Homo-oligomer: A and B are copies of this chain.
């Protein structure tokens, strides 16, 4: 029997509530799927930062280097600026483990209210593939004339050929099993070095995929199309910053921002990949047992797919879709009355019987 060893980092706030619930779902599919998990917990968090001055130990990456995957809740804590959690945890893991793809599905599901008029479930269904290691998220820059009227700050964006090509190829590979349509987010009319280069690499990589259709939009009008024409897209590839924007706007457009999953992926599997929901640690509702666990559970499904357990991943996703459509076990944020645990139980109950049995509480 295959055993996956997974680093579990619940993080802060509701992360501590939704991660154990998602683990119950994962255990349920594992049992009937013929594989198992070996979970190791880590208390890395803003809460830990407040206590010890560091989000994770100095040898943190080495501690989890050999895991098959990382299952992250959410980090964020009142009083700890979020650049601390980013630069002290997320970015070191994303970069240290070459998780150069940030993948987020955007799908309009039955039972989830989209803010857009007249869109049918299934009519919006695409992936945002975000470059996750370089680009606009750089620590290079500085300040001149500190404190004076002439003060100015500079910041470098850096795009490498290797960095562009690999994320673009990932997008094309993903589109291969879909509509073979890849859209590039650019801004080469305004950003005059990095973005024309991005376009150049997109054109080059496109030639490796004959039979695919491609297009590109400047980021300004692309965000407008997310609202006006979200049905145009299949796979969108974008730089770190543009992908960050599109992978929040996309879920907002389909009404799923509270339940959307995400993966930080090292496609070569030379390093562990990390799966985390889009939502944050929601300190305002933490500890009340009302947090929606779907984003975490769905992230678990993405983790299974990455590990090669496609049937188990698909089973979880169908169960989520079924429970959402049924609408009888939803949490408050979705207009229901259920708690975190009841919604999880409903999802476990909706798993196909040949794959899953609910584990004892």
Chain A positions near chain B (C-beta within 8 angstroms): 81-83, 86-87, 114-117, 136-139, 141-143, 148-162, 187-197, 219-221, 223-228, 240-241, 244-245, 247-249, 251-253, 257
For residue A253, which residues in chain B have a CB less than 8 angstroms away from its CB? Answer: 227
For residue A117, which residues in chain B have a CB less than 8 angstroms away from its CB? Answer: 114-117
| Choice from B83, B152, B220, B245 contacting A161 with Cβ under 8 Å | B152
- Using A187-B244, A220-B249, A227-B249 as known contacts, list a sample of 11 further A-B pairs with CB atoms less than 8 Å apart, ordered by residue number in A: A83-B196, A87-B192, A116-B117, A136-B190, A151-B160, A155-B192, A157-B157, A187-B241, A224-B248, A224-B251, A245-B245
* CB atoms of B228 and A248 under 8 A apart: no
Say how far A350's CB is from chain B's closest CB, in angstroms. Answer: 28
For residue A139, which residues in chain B have a CB less than 8 angstroms away from its CB? Answer: 192-193
Q: Given the known inter-chain contacts A117-B115, A251-B224, please indicate yes or no for A156 contacting B159, CB distance below 8 A.
A: no
* CB atoms of B151 and A227 under 8 A apart: no
7 contacts between A and B (CB under 8 A): A83-B196, A115-B117, A137-B190, A154-B157, A191-B241, A224-B249, A226-B249
Q: Given the known inter-chain contacts A189-B82, A227-B252, please indicate yes or no for A194 contacting B155, CB distance below 8 A.
A: yes
Say how far A247's CB is from chain B's closest CB, in angstroms. Answer: 8
* CB atoms of B153 and A156 under 8 A apart: no
* CB atoms of A220 and B193 under 8 A apart: no
Q: Given the known inter-chain contacts A83-B189, A155-B157, A224-B257, please indicate yes or no for A219 contacting B197, CB distance below 8 A.
A: no
For residue A197, which residues in chain B have a CB less than 8 angstroms away from its CB? Answer: 143, 153
* CB atoms of B190 and A142 under 8 A apart: no
* CB atoms of A160 and B152 under 8 A apart: yes
Q: How far is the CA of A251 from the CA of B244 in the complex (A)?
A: 21
Q: Given the known inter-chain contacts A143-B197, A156-B155, A156-B156, please indicate yes or no for A136 contacting B191, CB distance below 8 A.
A: yes
Q: How far is the CA of A195 from the CA of B141 in the complex (A)?
A: 11
* CB atoms of B245 and A223 under 8 A apart: yes
| Choice from B83, B151, B193, B248 contacting A155 with Cβ under 8 Å | B193
For residue A153, which residues in chain B have a CB less than 8 angstroms away from its CB? Answer: 158-159, 193-194, 197
